[in-house]
Amino acid sequence: MRALSDWFIVDFDDKRIQIRIVEPGTPSKTEILWKDIIRVCYKTGSFLESDEIFIFVKQRPESYLIPTEASGTTDLWGEIIERNLFDAKEALNAVLAEDHTVTCWPPPK
């Protein structure tokens, strides 16, 4: 079985995030513009589960899900924090939270 990082790939530049699925039979590519992001959530997994990043944009009610085991996700998480789309202190708390804890930025009103 191939590792998730072999077929789920995340790249970004100054304008967009690109999510590519290169699994045979189900290739796809999605782009998310930085300027369209309205909320980011981080969900901790358990010992055998990947943590997950959820990105919400203006144009759709559902989020984009990016498992932290995907290739490029560590750099993406750093860029999300650098762009102030997630508070740095809260990001540390989110990553260290108990299993299955969801932390969002900005926090719910």
Q: Which fold has domain 4-105?
A: PH-domain like (2.30.29)
- Using alpha carbons, select from 38, 32, 45 the residue that is nearest to residue 102: 45
For the stretch 42-93, pLDDT in tens is 999 998 899 999 999 999 999 999 999 999 999 999 999 999 999 999 999 9
In angstroms, the CA 67 to CA 77 distance is: 11
Tokens, residue 89:
């202190």
Tokens, residue 11:
């790249």
pLDDT band at 38, cuts 50/70/90? very high
pLDDT band at 36, cuts 50/70/90? very high
Strand 37-43 to 28-33 pairing? unpaired
Q: What angle do CA 102, 32, 40 make, to 5 degrees?
A: 20
Eight-state DSSP code of residue 36 = G
pTM to 2 decimal places: 0.93
Has residue 23 got a pLDDT over 90? no
The answer to whether the beta carbons of residues 98 and 43 sit under 8 Å apart is no
